[in-house]
Structure 1
Amino acid sequence: MTAPASPAPRWTLVAAIVLVAANLRTLMASLPPLAEAVRDDLGLSSLAMGVLTTLPVLLMGLLAPVAVQVARRVGPSGAIAGGLGAILVGLALRSLGDTSVAALYAGTFVAGTGIALAGTLLPGVVKAVFPAHRSGLGTGLTMCSMMGAAALASAGAVPLADTLGGWAASMRSWVPLAGVALLTWVAVRRGIRVRTATPDDEADGSHALPWSSLTAWLLAAYLTAQSWQFYSSLAWLAPTYESHGWTARDAGLLMAVFTGAQLVSGLVAPTLLDRVPDPRVLLVAAGVLGGSGEVGVWLAPEAAPWLWALLLGAGQGAAFALGLGLLVRYAVTSRDSGRLTAMCFLVSYSVAAFGPAASGAVEDVTGGFGPVWALLALVMLPQLVVSVRLRPSLPRVGA
């Protein structure tokens, strides 16, 4: 069934999607360059700092099915609006962490809840707004915005702290971006609601998660390995180099290279997905790039740190963007994409959420970051194995 014409121009809907995506990683990306300052001020261990990265990722997994149910009742546009509101409140609350450790963790929880709502439903909105032959471009724009904002958050964290008077003020600087996204989304919400409208809902399980689908399980396994590596790298790349004597500012710039490379590869990879018949070519290439960066940081961290960060970012950005693109490609309708996304996020993020905390525990026990990167390189192996299984002829969810 073709959705009725939208009362808003498509470009305004795309702009709103881009702004939503920009708010999905600033919570996590703005923390690592400030980690040492936060830890020193509040007396937190590496494990406790890892929890600050683990918590939003865990929420993204556990609340993914909840997002689908919320969208069923208020529509994807209303659910995403609620998610943006939670991100706004959570970021503001987190920035009070210099006066209350509880506020730091509570704000992370609230913002993580909002990210779970908006992030789970966004691929379905992309599928509804972009034509089928341009779904990769839509995913690429989403990734570009997400990683571009993350790069700014990483690079700007320490300079903002120096300028504004502390790490809490630096964290607070991302509240206005969430406010702009929320206002823009509300302004075009009717257009989004029209495009995501579906035929009458069925009571026969059409909203159920696709647990019996081999395709869904392969994608979930792929995203589990990828997300474990990504969030662990995000949490510990900067602290790794600070342990080698780098300043927080230089480590933040290294993080900007890491996230900036994701910006480029996150746009290019899903756009190529529209043109390359077999996604396995791109999936394996992305895995090799990311794995090379992990091995470099593990075995020769000081030999070529900027190159390792570039390889890490390019590989992981492309890998995640391709995963998002396949969540769209392997679904029949936008609703099916939402169901597939919810299941894959539930499995992958619930497992990967423990990556940063586990890595922090490894560092606490061993006293160094080398074993952390050895573990991440090992996790790349199952990602490559699953990549080879994701052939283009796999049955689509909802078929």
Structure 2
Amino acid sequence: MMGLMASEKFRTVDTRTAMSSTERGTDAPAGTEETNPGAGRTRAWATRLVVAGILLSALNLRPAITSLGALLEEVRDDLGMSGSVAGLLTSVPPLCFAVFGVTAPRLARRFGPAAVICAGMAAIATGLLIRPYAGGTPGFLAASALALMGIAVSNVLMPVVVKRWFPDRVGSMTGLYSMALALGTSLAAAVTVPLTGALGGSWRSGLAVWAVLAMAAVLPWLPLVRDRGTAPAPSRQRTAATAEQHAPLRMARSRTAWALAVFFGLQATAAYITMGWMPQIFRDAGVPAGTAGVLLAVTMVMGVPLAFVIPRVATRLPHQGPIALVLGVCGLAGYAGLYFAPAAGAWAWALLLGVSNCAFPLALTMVGMRARSGPGVAQLSAFAQSTGYLISIPGPLLVGVLYQRSGGWGLPIALMAALMVPQMLMGVLAGRNRTVEEEAAVR
């Protein structure tokens, strides 16, 4: 998500005052809650609901993908998928994120971010529940697209919710959100195979059970769906902030926005190749299916501690490029290991690729750091994620084609390593200390 400035300690916005007028749809004067204890208690409960909603939603943003990766061979065999079709299946997530993510800011302006995220969680639950029983590959893809549509809009709006409700704790909440996302990702990868066995051995039950977690994520947002506003700046800042927040931006004019979008796209390419294909790479090298799922979980669980640390470190650095370089070097080392000794050093390669995949929380952090205002963050988030996911679409599909045509993993792994080089370069460019308002404002 994002770190908003060079250090969180410089943010002193009073969030209690900031949101009170939003809930009423009026510009209440500062101090209203101090004279109305009931409003303060309501605000405190709303904040708790937002925190619960953020954490539960983050847990649901990847299980639809990693649970499928753990059972991809069984799904392919049962539905009669070729390697190319399976590659297409692993390309569906970024396609849906690109297509549906760009609609998120418009939907949020009309219905409010909470209502859109609530609907997104309901779409995830519905898609995951019907996907295994839709019948055939087309139905499976359609139900997957429904779940991924919910993930797409939530992906874009989560940074907006964090900035609006926690303007003085952006780095901390970004880390918490990223930890929950990594935890959900690794949990689905680790337990899907044994859970499938416990449910009778059917891959359909093993995939459908994740709908329960998505249903739980709907609940915290229900009391908040009528809140369509945003957290206004404190009254002493409001006049100065309004003009900047409403200035139209043309992201295509911003070199920083493009660098961030390409960086986002290349890290997403690596992540979805890893989530979709890494268990199969290990299984083809002789690693048992259950162990291959655990290895993917190890890769994903590395994001739990690092996703909390990286945003906090990034917000304290004037340039985030060095972090992108370190993550890229870890990725290159992991791919080299997969190429030369996939089974012998499997645990080491899983750890290195797990560190490399933490380019995702870094990208989200830079989204917040490269824009000054809430609307700017929303526009940059939609541009970077939608454009980035479009860029990432060919990667998993190309890996599937190369795997089927070559009969091995040499060429696909070489492709993954080659893509890491421009990712590092774009991370350096996106990490420069500047904002899109400086480059993209309409004059």
Contact 1:3 1:194 in 2 (8 A): no
TM-score by length of 1: 0.92
Q: Does 1:131 align with 2:167?
A: yes
> Is 1:240 aligned with 2:281?
yes
Match of 1:340 among 375, 380, 394: 380
| Shift, 1:276, TM fit | 2.8
* Structure 1 residue matching 2:437: 3-state secondary structure: coil
Query: What does residue 43 of structure 1 align with?
Result: 80
Paired AA for residue 412 in structure 2:
V
Q: Which segments of 5 or more consecutive residues in structure 2 lack a partner in the other structure?
A: 1-12, 24-41
Q: Secondary structure at the match of 2:138?
A: helix
Between the aligned residues of both structures, percent identity stands at 33
Cα distance per residue 1:280-322 (max 9 Å; x no partner): 22221111122211221122213311110111011212x1101
Residue from 172, 190, 206 that aligns with 1:170: 206
> Are the equivalent residues in 1 in contact too, given 2:63–2:210 (CA < 8 A)?
yes
Q: How does 1:48-67 map to 2 (within 5 A)?
A: 48-67=85-104
Question: Following the alignment from structure 2 to structure 1, what is the Cα–Cα distance between the partners of residues 162 and 332?
Answer: 29
Counterpart residue number, 1:289: 330
Q: What's the CA shift for 1:207?
A: 6.3
Alignment of 1:214-253 (within 5 A): 214-253=255-294
How far apart, in 2, do the equivalents of 1:101 and 1:4 lie?
46
Question: With structure 2 as the length reference, what TM-score do the two structures score?
Answer: 0.84
Contact 2:115 2:224 in 1 (8 A): no
Deviations 1:240-263 (A, max 9, x none): 011112221111111110111122
Question: What does residue range 256-271 of structure 1 map to in structure 2 within 5 Å?
Answer: 256-271=297-312
Give the aligned partner of residue 370 of structure 1. Answer: 410
> After the TM superposition, which residues 278-317 of structure 1 pair with which residues of structure 2 at under 5 Å, given as runs?
278-317=319-358
Does the Cα contact within 8 Å between 2:19 and 2:231 map onto a contact in 1?
A: no
Structure 1 residue 357 and structure 2 residue 393: aligned? no
The alignment yields a C-alpha RMSD, in angstroms, of: 2.3
Q: 1:145 aligns with which of 180, 190, 194?
A: 180
Q: Is the 8 A contact 1:257 1:310 kept in 2?
A: yes
1:302/1:248 CA distance change after superposition, 3 Å: closer
Once residues 203 and 242 of structure 2 are traced to their aligned partners in structure 1, the CA distance between those partners, rounded to angstroms, is 47
Could you say which structure has the larger radius of gyration? 2
Is contact 1:71-1:79 (8 Å) kept? yes
Q: Which stretch shows the higher mean deviation, 263-272 or 307-316?
A: 263-272
Counterpart of 1:128 in structure 2: which amino acid? R
Question: Secondary structure, in 3 states, of the residue corresponding to 2:103?
Answer: helix
What is the alpha-carbon distance in structure 1 between the residues aligned to residue 223 and residue 288 of structure 2? 43
Contact 1:257 1:309 in 2 (8 A): yes
Partners of 1:368 and 1:335 in 2: CA distance: 47
SS in 1 for 2:325: helix
Contact 1:127 1:334 in 2 (8 A): yes
What is the distance in 1 between the residues matched to 2:305 and 2:389? 24
| Structure 2 Cα separation of the partners of residues 147 and 84 of structure 1 | 17
1:260, 1:246 → 2: CA distance?
A: 19
CA distance in 2, matches of 1:129, 1:91: 30
- Give the match for residue 216 of structure 2: 180
Distance 1:328 1:160 in 2: 38
Distance 1:93 1:246 in 2: 31
Cα deviation, 1:49-74, whole Å, max 9, x if unaligned, reads 12222112111012222111111211
AA at the equivalent of 1:83: G
Looking at structure 1, the residues matched to 247 and 280 of structure 2 have their Cα atoms a distance apart, in angstroms, of 45
1:54–1:8 CA distance, 2 compared to 1 (3 A): farther
Q: 1:117-172: per-residue Cα shift (whole Å, max 9, x none)?
A: 1111111111112234x322222111111110111100111111111121110111
Matched position secondary structure for 1:4? helix
Conserved 8 A contact 1:16-1:188: no
Q: Secondary structure at the match of 1:277?
A: coil
Unaligned runs of 5+ residues in structure 1 are none
Q: Is the CA contact 1:297–1:305 (under 8 Å) kept in the aligned structure 2? A: yes
1:379 maps to what in 2?
419
The 8 Å contact of residues 125 and 196 in structure 1, kept in 2 or not, is answered as no
